[in-house]
Chains A and B, each alone.
Chain A
Amino acid sequence: MNELITIGISDMKVLPSPAAFATYALGSCVGVCLYDAACKVGGLGHIMLPYFPKENPNEKIHRYADTCLPEMIKAMEYMGCCRSRITAKIAGGAKMFNVADDCGFGNIGARNVAAVKETLQKLKVRIIAEDTGLNYGRTVYFYTEDGRMVVKSCTMGVKTF
Chain B
Amino acid sequence: MSIKNLSQLSDMHIDVLREIGNIGAGNAATSLAGLLNRKIDMKAPVVRIMDIANVDNALGGPETPVVAILVELSGDIRGIMMFIVSQHFTKIMLKSLLNEENVDCMRLTDMERSAISEIGNIMIGSYVSAISELANLKIKISVPAVTSDMVGSLLTVPAAEMGAVSDEIIFVEDDFKNSNNSISANMMLVPSLDSVEKLMSGLGIDL
Interface residues of A (CB under 8 A from B): 8-10, 24-29, 48-49, 53, 56, 59, 94, 96-102, 105-106, 108, 112, 135-139, 153-155
Docked-complex contact B161 and A105, CB < 8 angstroms: yes
Docked-complex contact A56 and B150, CB < 8 angstroms: no
Residue of B nearest to A107 (CB): B161
* 5 A-B pairs with the lowest CB-CB distances in the bound complex, closest first: A137-B153, A25-B152, A27-B153, A24-B62, A25-B62
Residue of A nearest to B4 (CB): A56
By a CB distance below 8 angstroms, the chain B residues around A59 are 165
Interface centre among A25, A26, A59, A108 (most CB of B within 10 A): A25
Number of B residues with CB within 8 Å of any CB on chain A? 34
Looking at the complex, which one of A27, A53, A99, A108 makes contact with B149 (CB distance below 8 Å)? A27
Interface residues of A: mostly helix, strand, loop or mixed? Answer: loop
Interface residues of B: mostly helix, strand, loop or mixed? Answer: mixed
Beyond contacts A10-B167, A105-B161, A155-B107: 8 other A-B pairs, Cβ-Cβ < 8 A, are: A24-B150, A27-B152, A28-B160, A48-B156, A56-B165, A94-B153, A100-B145, A108-B160
Looking at the complex, which one of B145, B150, B156 makes contact with A154 (CB distance below 8 Å)? B150
**How far is A155 from B108 in the complex, measured between Cα atoms in Å?**
12
Docked-complex contact A97 and B147, CB < 8 angstroms: yes
Q: Mark B61-91, 1 if CB is under 8 A from A, else 0.
A: 1110100101010000000000000000000
**How far is A70 from B37 in the complex, measured between Cα atoms in Å?**
57
Q: Is B151 an interface residue (CB 8 A)?
A: yes
Q: Mark B41-62, 1 if CB is under 8 A from A, else 0.
A: 0000000000011001000011
Given A25-B152, A100-B145, A137-B149; A154-B106 close (CB under 8 Å) = yes
By a CB distance below 8 angstroms, the chain A residues around B145 are 97-100
Looking at the complex, which one of B56, B143, B148 makes contact with A99 (CB distance below 8 Å)? B143
Q: Shortest CB–CB separation between residue B161 and chain A, in angstroms?
A: 5
Looking at the complex, which one of B52, B56, B72, B167 makes contact with A102 (CB distance below 8 Å)? B72
By a CB distance below 8 angstroms, the chain A residues around B157 are 27-28, 96-97, 106, 108
Looking at the complex, which one of A25, A100, A112 makes contact with B153 (CB distance below 8 Å)? A25
By a CB distance below 8 angstroms, the chain A residues around B163 are 49, 53
**How far is A24 from B52 in the complex, measured between Cα atoms in Å?**
13
Q: Is B195 an interface residue (CB 8 A)?
A: no
**How far is A96 from B150 in the complex, measured between Cα atoms in Å?**
10
**How far is A18 from B157 in the complex, measured between Cα atoms in Å?**
33
Given A9-B53, A24-B63, A101-B143; A136-B149 close (CB under 8 Å) = yes
Docked-complex contact A135 and B53, CB < 8 angstroms: no
Q: Is B164 an interface residue (CB 8 A)?
A: yes
Residue of B nearest to A94 (CB): B153
